[in-house]
Chain A
Amino acid sequence: MKNGALVFLAVFVALGLSWCGFVLAPARQLGNAKQTTILNSTDLYPMGRPGDANMGLQVYRANGCAACHTEQVRQSGVTCNVVLTGAGKNPELVSNLVSTLKLNGLAKEVADAVSDRITAAGGKAEIHIIATGPDISRGWGTRQSVAEDFLYDYPVQTGSLRAGPDLANIGVREPDANWQLAHLYAPSSEVKGSVMPSIHFLFEVRKTGGAPSPDALVFPKGFGPPAGYEVVPKPEAKELAAYLLSLRANVPLYSAPFTP
C-alpha cells in the first residue's frame, strides 16, 4: 500500500460491508418487526410486559443480572409424534395398523406419511411437533427463543454467559412471587447450595412491631430473619420479581412451532 488514503479506503470497504450486513440490515429487518399471531389462534404476540415488569427490566439492567443469566433457549431441531385421535368405523383395522407403526420421534415427512396411512384406514390422527435439544430437555422452554420474544424490551438482555440457569421462561418455572423474592434475598433458601450472590440491598429488614407488613416474605424454616424481624421487599425488588414472572416465552409461533 502506497499511501494513507488507500488504508482509509480499505477500512471503509471492509467495515462498511459488515456494517451494512450486521447493523443496517437487522436494524431495518428486525427493527420494523410487528406483533405476530400465535400459531392456530388469532391472539397477538407479544402483548408487551405490564408496567411494573418493564420497570423491573430496568432493575435487571442496572444490577447486571445478564452477567450470569441468559434469556435465550436453544433448540437443535424438532421431532414429530403421531397421536391417534379417533378410531373411525373400523377400529380393529386401525389398531392393527397402529401396532405395526412407529409413532413417536419421527421426522416431519415420515409423520405425514404415517398420518396419511392411518387416515386411509379410516382413523383420525394428529401430528404433534416437539422441539428438541439439551435446553428444552432441561425444561428451560418448550421452544427456542425467537426475535418476537424481545419485541418491546429495552434494553434487550439476551446475556452471553450461563453462570446460572437460563431465564427465558423463569416465570413459567417459578410462577410464585414470594419464591422469586425470597430467592433474590437469600438464594440458598429456595435452591439448596445456590452460588448466586444475595441481593440484600433490594430489601429492608425491620422490626415487625405491632402490625406486620403484608409484603413480608415467607421463608422456609431456618432461613428467615431473627424472631421479631421481617424482610420487606423495596419497590425495586417487587418490580424485578414482576419482570421475572413476565418472562414466559412459551407460545407456539410460525417461526418456532410446537404443539402445546
Chain B
Amino acid sequence: MTEMQPQDAKTQASDPKIDASCLVPLLALSGGAALWLVIGSVLAMIASIKFHAPGFLADCPWLTYGRVQPAADDALLYGFCIPAALGVMLWIFARLSRAPLCLPFVPVVAANLWHLGVFIGLVGVLAGESTGFAWLEFPRGGSVLLFAAFLLIAIPAVATFGQRRERELYPSHWFLLAALLWFPWIYATGNLFLVALPVRGVAQAAINLWFASNLIFVWFGLAGLGVSFYLLPKFAGRPLQSHYLALFAFWTLILFGTWCGISAGAPLPAWMPALSTVAASLTIIPVLAVAAIMWKTLCGSTHSETRGGPFCFIRFGVASFVLAGLMLIAMACPQISKVTEFTWCGPAQTQLQLYGFFAMTMFGAIYHILPQAAGFEFPLQKLARVHFWISTLGVLLLVTPLAIGGLVQGFKWANPSVAPVDVARAALPFLRVSTTGLLLLLLGNLLFALNIFAVTLKWKFALLKTMIAAVKAPLDTKGETTSAFASLRRDKEVKA
C-alpha cells in the first residue's frame, strides 16, 4: 500500500474548483447546523438552571426538564453534529476523488429537508410528542424526513466516490463509507422496531440501548475519525502513521464497538450485558490504536501551527475520543459500573464524546474548509480562535464536574443509610459548576454561528453584486452576460 497523502498528486480538477463545487451544500448544511447548535445550547442552559431553581418555568409544559433536556441533546446531535459531518464528508469525498462534487443540488435540497425534520422533531419533543426512547425522541414526521435526507446526501457522496481516479482507498474512505451505511441501518431499525411496529416489553429497552451505543460510540467514531484521519496528516505535514494501523482500528471498532451499550443492571437476559461487557473491554484495542496513530502522526510534525486554529480543534477532538473511549471501557467493568451505572458519569461520557470529540472535530474541519470553498477568509477570524479556547474550557467545565459528581452520587446511592434527597443534593454543586461549562459552550457556539452567518452573508452579497453587474452590463452577446456569473467563481479561484 502506498503511503500517499491525500490530494498531493497532479490532478485533473484543481483544488479550488473542487472546493467551490462544495460551497453551496456546505453552507446549506452547516448554516442550519450552526443555528441548531445555538438553540441546543440555550435549551441545555434552561435544563441546567432547573438544578439551581426547581420552580424555574414550572408553569410552562414546553419547558419542563424532561422535555428540554432531550430536546437539547437532540438539537446538538441531530441538529448540529450529523449535518455538519455530512457537509464535511461531501467535501472530503470530492477532495479524495479529485473531482468536483456530483449532483451538488441534491445535498442542498436534502439539507433543507434535514433541517425541517429537526424542526418538526424538536417542536414535537417540546410539545410532549416524544417517542420516549433515548436518542430516538423525534416523532414520526421528523424521523422520516431525517432518514430520507440522509439517503439523499449519501447519493452524491457515493457518486463522487465513484469518480475517483485512483483505485486504492484512503483510510478516511473506509470510515466515511461505513458511516454512510451505518446510520440508515441503525436509524431504520430503531424507528421500525420501537416506533412504527413496536416490539413487546423489555426488548424495546434492549434495542434502544443497542441503537444509542451504535450511534454515539460507533457512528460518531467512524465519521469523526474519518474526518480526523484526512485532516491530521494535512496539518501535520506528514502522511498518516500508518494506513495499516488505521485499517486495524477500523475493523476492531466496527467488530467490537457495535456490541457495546447493554448496561449491567438492565432487566434483560444475563448473556446480553455479559457479552456487552466483553465487547467493551475489547474496544480498548481500537481506542489505543487511534491514540497511537495520533501520537505517531503528530510526532515530527513539520507545520507551524496557529494557536487556536483548526489544527487545535482536531487534536483536541482525537484526544477526547481516546479519553471518552477509556471512560466507556472503565464504566463497563462490573466493579466500576456498580458505582457509575445510572449516575451523571453516563451523561459526562456522552458529552465528552459528542461535544469534546465530535463537535470540536467538526468545528476544526469547517473552519478549515469553508474559507477554501468560499474563496475568502472568515470575516471574523479572530473569533474562531477565541471559540477554541472558550470551548476547550467549556468542555472541561462541563465534563469534569459531571464525572466527579457522578462518582460522588454513585457512592452515596450505594450506601442505603444516605437518604435519596441527600444523594440528589450531593450532586447539585457539581451540576451547578457544569452550568458554567454550558454557558461557555453557548458563548463559543455563538461565535461559531456568527462566523458561519458572516461567510454566508458575504457570499450572498458577492453573488448579488455579480447579478447586478450582469444585469447592468451591456448586452452585446448572450455569452458575455452568462459569463458574468462565472466571473465570480473565477475571481475566487484566482484569490485562492
Task: Verify if A93 is at the interface (C-beta below 8 Å from B).
Answer: no
- CB <8 Å contact, A63 and B128: yes
Interface size of B in residues (CB-CB distance below 8 Å): 86
Task: Verify if A18 is at the interface (C-beta below 8 Å from B).
Answer: yes
Distance (whole angstroms) from the CB of B94 to the closest CB of chain A: 15
CB interface residues, B 396-422, toward A, < 8 Å: 409, 413-416, 420-421
- CB <8 Å contact, B168 and A68: no
Distance between Cα atoms of A160 and B209 in the complex (Å): 10
In the complex, chain A residues whose CB is within 8 Å of the CB of B202: 26, 30, 147, 149-151, 156, 158
**Which single member of A65, A158, A192 contacts B267 (CB below 8 Å)?**
A158
Distance between Cα atoms of A157 and B409 in the complex (Å): 22
Select from chain A the residue with minimum beta-carbon distance to B133.
A155
Select from chain B the residue with minimum beta-carbon distance to A149.
B267
Select from chain A the residue with minimum beta-carbon distance to B247.
A1
Distance between Cα atoms of A15 and B425 in the complex (Å): 41
Distance between Cα atoms of A59 and B264 in the complex (Å): 28
Distance between Cα atoms of A91 and B426 in the complex (Å): 54
- CB <8 Å contact, B201 and A152: yes
CB interface residues, A 13-58, toward B, < 8 Å: 14-15, 17-19, 21-23, 26-27, 29-33
- CB <8 Å contact, A200 and B59: yes
Task: Verify if B203 is at the interface (C-beta below 8 Å from A).
Answer: yes
Task: Verify if A210 is at the interface (C-beta below 8 Å from B).
Answer: no
**Which of B51, B65, B133, B264 neighbours the largest number of chain A CB atoms within 10 Å of its CB?**
B65
Distance between Cα atoms of A98 and B409 in the complex (Å): 42
Task: Verify if B474 is at the interface (C-beta below 8 Å from A).
Answer: no
**Which of B54, B205, B415 neighbours the largest number of chain A CB atoms within 10 Å of its CB?**
B205
- CB <8 Å contact, A4 and B421: no
Task: Verify if A104 is at the interface (C-beta below 8 Å from B).
Answer: no
- CB <8 Å contact, A3 and B169: yes
Task: Verify if B278 is at the interface (C-beta below 8 Å from A).
Answer: no
Task: Verify if A161 is at the interface (C-beta below 8 Å from B).
Answer: yes
In the complex, chain B residues whose CB is within 8 Å of the CB of A10: 174, 178, 250-251, 254
Select from chain B the residue with minimum beta-carbon distance to A144.
B267
Distance between Cα atoms of A72 and B409 in the complex (Å): 17
Given A2-B167, A15-B214: A26 and B268 interface contact (C-beta under 8 Å): yes
Distance between Cα atoms of A18 and B247 in the complex (Å): 20
Select from chain B the residue with minimum beta-carbon distance to A249.
B267
Task: Verify if A164 is at the interface (C-beta below 8 Å from B).
Answer: yes
**Which single member of B61, B158, B168 contacts A2 (CB below 8 Å)?**
B168
- CB <8 Å contact, B177 and A156: no
Distance between Cα atoms of A97 and B142 in the complex (Å): 71
CB interface residues, B 407-455, toward A, < 8 Å: 409, 413-416, 420-421, 424-425, 427-428
- CB <8 Å contact, B65 and A134: no
In the complex, chain A residues whose CB is within 8 Å of the CB of B485: none
Select from chain B the residue with minimum beta-carbon distance to A19.
B189
In the complex, chain A residues whose CB is within 8 Å of the CB of B390: none
**Which single member of A14, A61, A195 contacts B428 (CB below 8 Å)?**
A195
Task: Verify if A70 is at the interface (C-beta below 8 Å from B).
Answer: yes
- CB <8 Å contact, B64 and A23: no
Task: Verify if A7 is at the interface (C-beta below 8 Å from B).
Answer: yes
Distance between Cα atoms of A195 and B58 in the complex (Å): 13
Task: Verify if A193 is at the interface (C-beta below 8 Å from B).
Answer: yes
Select from chain B the residue with minimum beta-carbon distance to A201.
B61
Segment of B342-350, B375-383, B461-469 in the binding face: B342-350
- CB <8 Å contact, B268 and A147: yes
- CB <8 Å contact, A161 and B346: yes
Given A2-B169, A67-B69, A198-B54: A162 and B413 interface contact (C-beta under 8 Å): yes
- CB <8 Å contact, A158 and B266: yes
In the complex, chain A residues whose CB is within 8 Å of the CB of B421: 191-195
In the complex, chain A residues whose CB is within 8 Å of the CB of B250: 10
- CB <8 Å contact, A64 and B174: no
Select from chain B the residue with minimum beta-carbon distance to A162.
B342
CB interface residues, A 90-115, toward B, < 8 Å: none
In the complex, chain B residues whose CB is within 8 Å of the CB of A187: 54
Task: Verify if A153 is at the interface (C-beta below 8 Å from B).
Answer: yes
Distance between Cα atoms of A31 and B258 in the complex (Å): 22
- CB <8 Å contact, A8 and B267: no
Distance (whole angstroms) from the CB of A240 to the closest CB of chain B: 12
Select from chain B the residue with minimum beta-carbon distance to A191.
B421
Given A11-B181, A198-B54: A22 and B262 interface contact (C-beta under 8 Å): yes
- CB <8 Å contact, A18 and B267: no
- CB <8 Å contact, B416 and A134: yes
In the complex, chain A residues whose CB is within 8 Å of the CB of B173: 4, 7
Segment of B27-35, B191-199, B287-295 in the binding face: B191-199
Task: Verify if A154 is at the interface (C-beta below 8 Å from B).
Answer: yes
Distance between Cα atoms of A10 and B298 in the complex (Å): 29
In the complex, chain A residues whose CB is within 8 Å of the CB of B51: 195
**Which of A12, A154, A197, A198 neighbours the largest number of chain B CB atoms within 10 Å of its CB?**
A197
CB interface residues, B 248-266, toward A, < 8 Å: 250-251, 254-255, 258-259, 262-266
Given A144-B267, A158-B205: A18 and B210 interface contact (C-beta under 8 Å): yes
In the complex, chain A residues whose CB is within 8 Å of the CB of B268: 26, 30, 147
Distance (whole angstroms) from the CB of B137 to the closest CB of chain A: 8
In the complex, chain B residues whose CB is within 8 Å of the CB of A198: 54-55, 58
CB interface residues, A 106-162, toward B, < 8 Å: 134, 137-139, 144-147, 149-162
Task: Verify if A235 is at the interface (C-beta below 8 Å from B).
Answer: no
Task: Verify if A211 is at the interface (C-beta below 8 Å from B).
Answer: no
- CB <8 Å contact, A164 and B424: yes
- CB <8 Å contact, B194 and A155: yes
30 contacts between A and B (CB under 8 A): A2-B168, A7-B169, A7-B177, A8-B181, A10-B174, A10-B254, A11-B182, A18-B210, A19-B189, A23-B210, A26-B202, A26-B268, A26-B272, A27-B207, A30-B202, A30-B268, A31-B199, A31-B201, A64-B67, A65-B66, A72-B265, A74-B264, A138-B420, A147-B202, A155-B131, A160-B342, A162-B342, A162-B409, A197-B65, A201-B60
Residues in chain A within 8 A of chain B (CB atoms): 1-4, 7-8, 10-12, 14-15, 17-19, 21-23, 26-27, 29-33, 61-68, 70, 72, 74, 76, 134, 137-139, 144-147, 149-165, 187-188, 191-201
| Leading 10 A-B pairs by shortest Cβ distance | A64-B66, A62-B128, A61-B132, A155-B132, A137-B416, A30-B203, A18-B258, A14-B254, A198-B58, A74-B265
Q: A11-B185, A27-B207, A155-B204 are in contact. List 5 more A-B contacts (CB 8 A).
A: A67-B70, A150-B202, A158-B205, A160-B263, A191-B421
